Structure 1
């Protein structure tokens, strides 16, 4: 029973070929491309408005050098939101429940922010490892602690996204299984359980969007420290 619950998080295969790359490419097909007409349709206009508002809000605390990351962060935000939401549909697969994929997104972006800080302002970047006014006896311990916290950032990014989506999918599957089991035995209880399942699904839609935003927000904070 426990193994069957986690089967939904396994990468689907067809004739021995993993389909995770196909699942990752589907969100790109759902977004319309701009046309040569003077006026765009409603979907393209809504997409452009969302991206402009999000980029303006995200780039507000960053200086001019950090604005070069606007396109990369906005694209990653739309990519994560779309994959998280598509994973809530029946008979679909959520690539962002795979820790390997989330770490593959988190580590390069985090490493890029660190390298940018070391290249542009090495003194300030290394100064984050030792707070000002630290007692002499605590200097080695604090340097070790801050270094560990620096290298744990990409792991925290990946684990946070994976854990939240995995927990939500498990709860949905557990409650939906309880609805089917209780329906012939206790119909009234099954109806109330189905209402809880509906509310949990709405919560998971919000979590899918919030977790993508938190992922990008933390990356922007790391970028803000190094620009």
Structure 2
């Protein structure tokens, strides 16, 4: 029995074994794999069209050096969307509500973009810390501010994804609890609340997809500054 609204964000265990690894690996099993046939299924064709459109849209602002990240960014996009969507099903667990998992994605990828910039174009990478035309007295302050903003980027990536999904799940559970409480007392109000719950669920589906896209889009923008 759930004792708290926040218990839904606790990693499930079976026989003392954490099941977060299963929740993370499950999306890859559900995605259809292209076959060697000339004619693919409708689902595979739709997935291929979506991947091609997303990849073209994501890599359009990047130069040829950033195109090497196409496979990683597209895979991360599909992975996050599938995990977020599966987490909306009843009696499921959403791994992306865990800040540790999101930071595990954000920090290494952000650090890779910074290392690439420092390796291939160190002058331009360091020039981002000081905007052009800055007055001389403000140079030390701006360098400190830009350095802090640079190191806050991975934290913002992880916290944004965690906070949006956590808030949506909590709001859905609160409204669903209100529906069950109001149903025997005030059926009309319960029906109206259920309609609000349905609209909120549709909104949360959109949030699950948008937040995955925003996560990968921001990574591509960080990569664009360093390639």
TM range (shorter): over 0.9
Shift of 1:3: 5.8
Q: Deviations over 1:19-77 (max 9, x none)?
A: 00000011000011111111111111011000000000000000011000000000000
Sort the Cα spacing of 1:143 and 1:3 in 2 relative to 1 into closer, same or farther, 3 A. farther
**SS at the partner of 1:200?**
helix
Deviation of the 1:110 alpha carbon: 0.2
The TM-score, its normalising length taken from structure 1, stands at 0.98
Q: What count of residue pairs does the alignment treat as equivalent? A: 226
- SS for the counterpart of 1:185 is coil
Map of 1:108 onto structure 2: 108
Mapped partners of 1:206, 1:106: distance in 2 = 22
Residue number in structure 2 paired with 1:190: 190
2:126 paired residue number: 126
Q: For 2:128 and 2:45, locate their aligned partners in 1 and report how far apart those are by CA, in whole Å.
A: 42
* Residue number in structure 1 paired with 2:62: 62
Q: Match for residue 22 of structure 2?
A: 22
- The 5-angstrom pairing of residues 175-186 of structure 1 reads 175-186=175-186
The runs of 5 or more residues in structure 1 that have no matched partner are: none
Q: C-alpha separation between the residues in 2 aligned to 1:3 and 1:101?
A: 24
2:140 aligned partner:
140
CA RMSD of aligned residues (A): 0.9
Name the SS of the counterpart of 1:123 in structure 2.
helix
- Unaligned runs of at least 5 residues, structure 2: none
TM normalised by structure 2 equals 0.98
Query: Residue 88 of structure 1 aligns to a residue in which SS?
Result: coil
Q: Which runs of 4+ in 1 moved over 3 A?
A: none
